[in-house]
Amino acid sequence: MSQTREKLEQMGFRILDAVRTELLLSMRFMAPALNSLGFKMDLATASAGTDAVYIRFNPGFLLQTFVERPRRLNRMYLHMLLHCLFRHMFSARDREDPDLWDICCDIAVESVVDSMSYDVIARPHSPFKEGWYERLQNEVKILTAEKIYAWFLSNPRDYSAEVDLRRVFTVDDHSFWRRMEDEEPPRKKPPGTPPEAPPDRDGKDGKEQTQDSKHLKPVSPKEDEWKKNAEKIEADIEIIGKEKSEETGSLTRILRFEMRKRTDYREFLQRFSILREEAGVDLDSFDYGFYYYGMELYGNMPLIEENEFREVKKVDSLVIAIDTSASCQKVLVQQFLNETADLLAGIGSFFAKTEIHLIECDDKVQNDIVITDVAQLQQYTEGFEVKGGFGTDFRPVFNYIEDLRARGELENLRGLMYFTDGFGEYPKKPTDYDTAFVFWRDEELDDTGVPDWAIKLFIDPEGQIEQQS
């Protein structure tokens, strides 16, 4: 029995190795991903799936598919690799509806595979799939699993349609996602397992966690490894050049979207704060030991009084520029302002004397409203209207800010947040304050012209931002 099992296992290794080689010959940029998965026979599945460490397979399924439909096996292998690169399995447990999450992940991955034009993964045209791709692209713009999942939850559920989607889009076994082992793979690796990644230049083994925001869930070493693989592949595709863009399809766009650094908007706003003394009791510097000693010794004479001033870090001076051109939707601007006002109010970010300029602009500065407290910002948001009807030129705002500073205003300016859809003429000269161009994550936008010295922020409705700098 053990010999039979070993023969079946070795047969599976050879089949998967042949598939891996065929994919590598056609898509050399996928090498980091192709070399990151080992192979393991697992009779708990009737087909094959991955836990981000191994491709776990049923040998009978592999042999039959390899003989009858080898391209299907190629597509399945690539399908599983994309799940890993997009790190779908690492957030599966956090989803309210894991079955719906499975469908959305498969739709997102298949949309990428179907957009690629390589002979090794070619398939007949599917009107059903193409119809759903077109529908979802009209609704969510970019077909990521998170966006598709949110769209399904925000609409009335059609369970019969979900059955059809599961039947057409299901490719691999996702059951391994829900029983992924917490332990690291054993040191003694079975045959078919790729070698360890080489250590970093600083001698570390590359398994440290990423430095994402502390408000986000911890990133596992394996998830971090796949994130680095995605970064390498995105860079390699850029090197290939535009002449190969048709072959790689939507992979570059989805990878770029997925690789945006996630952080917390509250923390980002803190970077515009300064440290300054403010009137108020500083309990941190109050020594209760001396206080009680004096009261005990003299009856009513403490040896130390409260410090009447304290050091606090708050917003002193900030500029928020609002693109009011016709291409910017009013509801998105209001959501951005509401999010900003709520966060500033929640963290007590204003000094008694604060200067925040709200600049309305399109191809020129239309209006400048000076805000001194959160209530004014909230009041402004409620009455906001899109007033511009022209194109966008970002440069007049930067010139206007320099004029204000020359007149002695905005002395402690820490930053500019420019909310826009990205269509416009950008300045070329770097600023001596932080400059962030802010985009609403679900909006169709053009961020390609943002200068490399500026920060790109992509805000979602949950107060999370995706940051590129």
Please report the pLDDT score of residue 62 as a whole number. 95
- If asked whether residues 224 and 272 sit together in one domain, one would say no
Q: How far apart are CA 421 and CA 328, in angstroms?
A: 6
Q: How far apart are CA 323 and CA 441, in angstroms?
A: 16
Residue ranges making up the domain that contains 348: 268-276+314-468
- If asked whether residues 358 and 444 sit together in one domain, one would say yes
Residue 422 in any domain: the answer is: yes
Please report the pLDDT score of residue 401 as a whole number. 93
**Is the distance from CB of 418 to CB of 397 less than 8 angstroms?**
yes
**Tens-digit pLDDT profile for residues 67-95:** 999 999 999 999 999 999 999 998 887 78
- If asked whether residues 130 and 272 sit together in one domain, one would say no
Taken in order 394, 399, 402, 404, the sign of the CA dihedral is negative
Residue 296 in any domain: the answer is: no
Please report the pLDDT score of residue 356 as a whole number. 81
* Structural tokens at position 346: 């929640």
Q: How far apart are CA 285 and CA 401, in angstroms?
A: 39
**What's the count of helices (H) and strands (E) in the chain, helices before strands?**
16, 12
- If asked whether residues 250 and 272 sit together in one domain, one would say no
Residue found under tokens 């007590």? 348
Q: Calculate the alpha carbon distances from 371 to 148, 318, 319, 375, 420 in Å.
A: 38, 10, 10, 9, 20
**Is the distance from CB of 32 to CB of 48 less than 8 angstroms?**
no
**Is the distance from CB of 259 to CB of 234 less than 8 angstroms?**
yes
Please report the pLDDT score of residue 183 as a whole number. 40
Cβ-proximal residues to 115 (8 Å cutoff; 6+ apart), any chain: 249, 250, 251
**Is the distance from CB of 84 to CB of 37 less than 8 angstroms?**
yes
The HSE-up count of residue 264 (CA atoms within 13 Å, CB side) is 11
- If asked whether residues 175 and 138 sit together in one domain, one would say yes
**Is the distance from CB of 439 to CB of 459 less than 8 angstroms?**
yes
**Tens-digit pLDDT profile for residues 272-328:** 664 444 445 455 555 556 566 666 766 666 555 555 544 444 556 788 898 877 555
- If asked whether residues 352 and 236 sit together in one domain, one would say no
Please report the pLDDT score of residue 102 as a whole number. 95
Judged by DSSP in three states, 201 sits in coil
- If asked whether residues 169 and 272 sit together in one domain, one would say no
- If asked whether residues 226 and 272 sit together in one domain, one would say no
- If asked whether residues 246 and 319 sit together in one domain, one would say no
pLDDT tens for the chain, 469 residues long, are: 578 889 999 999 999 999 999 999 999 999 999 999 999 999 999 999 999 999 999 999 999 999 999 999 999 999 999 999 999 998 887 788 999 999 999 999 999 999 998 999 998 889 999 999 999 988 887 899 988 998 999 889 899 999 999 999 999 999 999 876 444 444 344 444 444 444 443 334 433 333 333 333 445 678 889 988 998 888 888 777 655 667 888 888 888 777 765 556 666 776 666 444 444 545 555 555 656 666 676 666 655 555 554 444 455 678 889 887 755 566 667 777 777 776 666 544 444 456 788 898 888 888 898 887 767 777 777 766 656 556 678 999 999 999 999 998 887 787 898 888 777 889 989 998 888 888 766 545 566 788 888 888 877 655 455 555 4
Cβ-proximal residues to 6 (8 Å cutoff; 6+ apart), any chain: none
Residue 349 in any domain: the answer is: yes
- If asked whether residues 235 and 272 sit together in one domain, one would say no
**Is the distance from CB of 343 to CB of 381 less than 8 angstroms?**
no
**Is the distance from CB of 274 to CB of 314 less than 8 angstroms?**
yes
Residue 440 in any domain: the answer is: yes
Residue 370 in any domain: the answer is: yes
Q: How far apart are CA 69 and CA 130, in angstroms?
A: 22
Judged by DSSP in three states, 350 sits in strand
Q: How far apart are CA 350 and CA 372, in angstroms?
A: 8
- If asked whether residues 245 and 328 sit together in one domain, one would say no
Number of domains in the chain: 2
Residue 128 in any domain: the answer is: yes
Residue 345 in any domain: the answer is: yes
Name residue 176's amino acid: F
DSSP output for 357-423: EEEEESSSEEEEEEE-SHHHHHHHHHT------S--BSHHHHHHHHHHHHTT-STT--EEEEE--S-
Q: For residue 447, what is the domain's CATH number? A: 3.40.50.410
Residue 455 in any domain: the answer is: yes
Residue found under tokens 């045209």? 125
- If asked whether residues 342 and 249 sit together in one domain, one would say no
* Structural tokens at position 394: 């970002």
Please report the pLDDT score of residue 194 as a whole number. 47
**Is the distance from CB of 465 to CB of 262 less than 8 angstroms?**
yes
